[in-house]
A = this chain, B = another copy of it.
Amino acid sequence: MSQVKIYDTTLRDGSQMEGINFSVQDKIQIALKLDEFGIHYIEGGWPGSNPKDIAFFEKAQKISFHNAKICAFGSTRKAETKPDQDKNLRLLLEAGSPVITIFGKSWTLHVKRALRTTLDENLKMIDDSISFLKSAGKTVFFDAEHFFDGYKQDQDYALKTIEVAYNAGADAIILCDTNGGALPHEIASIFSKVKSQLTESFEIGIHTHNDGGIAVANSLIAVDCGANQIQGTFNGYGERCGNANLCSIIPNLVLKMGISCLSEEQLKKLVEVSRFIDETANMRPNHYQPFVGKSAFTHKGGIHASAIMRDPLTYEHVIPDLVGNQRRILVSEQAGKSNILYRAHEVGVDLQPDDSRVTSLIDKIKESESYGYQYEGADASFEMMLREVLGETMNFFTLQGFRVIVEKRGDEEVITEATIKLNVGDHFVHTAAEGDGPVHALDNALRKALESLYPQLKRIRLSDYKVRVLNEKDGTAAKIRVLIQTTDGSHTWGTVGVSTDVIEASWEALEDSVKYGLWQKTKEEN
A residues near B, CB below 8 A?
Answer: 15-19, 21, 49-50, 109-110, 113-114, 178-181, 183-185, 210-214, 216-218, 220-221, 224, 236, 239-242, 245, 248-249, 252, 256-257, 279, 282, 286-291, 293-304, 307, 310-311, 313-318, 330, 332-334, 369, 374, 376, 399-410, 414, 416, 435-440, 442-443, 461-478, 480, 484, 499-504, 506-507, 510
Please give me the residue from chain B that is nearest to A504 by CB atom: B414
The answer to whether B288 and A17 touch across the interface, beta carbons within 8 angstroms, is yes
- Report the nearest B residue to A462, measured CB to CB: B475
Are B406 and A410 in contact, CB atoms less than 8 angstroms apart?
no
Of the candidates B183, B224, B374, the one whose C-beta lies within 8 Å of that of A257 is B183
Please pick, from B183, B256, B299, B403, the residue contacting A406 in the complex, using a CB distance under 8 A: B403
**A408 touches which of B282, B299, B399 (Cβ 8 Å):** B399
Complex Cα distance, B249 from A29, in Å, reads 37
CB of B477 within 8 A of CB of A436, answer yes
A15–B301 CA distance with the chains assembled, in angstroms: 9
A401 pairs with B407, CB closer than 8 A = yes
Cross-chain pairs A/B with CB under 8 angstroms, 30 sampled: A16-B300, A17-B288, A17-B295, A18-B288, A18-B295, A18-B300, A109-B313, A109-B314, A113-B310, A113-B314, A114-B311, A181-B256, A184-B221, A185-B221, A210-B290, A211-B291, A211-B296, A212-B248, A212-B256, A212-B290, A213-B217, A214-B252, A217-B217, A401-B410, A403-B407, A437-B499, A439-B502, A462-B475, A463-B473, A465-B469
Identify the interface centre among A311, A403, A404: most chain B CB within 10 Å of its CB: A404
Given contacts A211-B290, A470-B282, is CB(A17)–CB(B179) below 8 Å? no
A91 → chain B closest CB, angstroms: 15
Task: Kindly list chain B residues whose C-beta atoms are within 8 Å of the C-beta of A214.
Answer: 214, 216-217, 220, 248, 252
> Do B506 and A476 touch across chains, with their CB atoms under 8 A apart?
yes
Q: A376-B19, A438-B502, A472-B466 are in contact. Are A289 and B410 (CB under 8 A)?
A: no
* Closest B residue by C-beta to A306: B114
Give A476 to B506 CA distance when docked, in angstroms. Answer: 9
Given A295-B17, A439-B502, A410–B400 Cβ distance below 8 Å? Answer: yes
CB-contact partner of A113 in B213, B307, B416, under 8 A: B307
Nearest-CB distance from A355 to chain B (Å)? 21
**B501→A224 contact, CB < 8 A:** no
Instruction: Please determine whether A240 and B183 come into contact, CB atoms closer than 8 angstroms.
Output: no
Do B416 and A501 have beta carbons less than 8 Å apart? yes
How far, in angstroms, from A171 to B48 measured CA to CA in the complex? Answer: 61
Chain B residues with Cβ below 8 Å from A442 are 476
Ranked nearest first, the 4 interchain pairs of A and B with the lowest CB-CB distance are A181-B317, A217-B217, A462-B475, A213-B248
Specify which chain B residues have a CB less than 8 angstroms from the CB of A307 in the assembled complex: 110, 113-114
Q: A21-B332, A404-B406, A414-B504 are in contact. List 4 more A-B contacts (CB 8 A).
A: A214-B216, A435-B476, A443-B476, A467-B502
**Assembly CA distance A316 to B304 (angstroms):** 40
Do residues B465 and A311 form an inter-chain contact, with CB atoms below 8 A?
Answer: no
Q: Which of A181, A288, A290, A476 has the most CB of B within 10 A?
A: A476
Q: B334 contacts A241, CB within 8 Å?
A: no
The complex places the Cα of A467 from the Cα of B475 at a distance, in Å, of 11
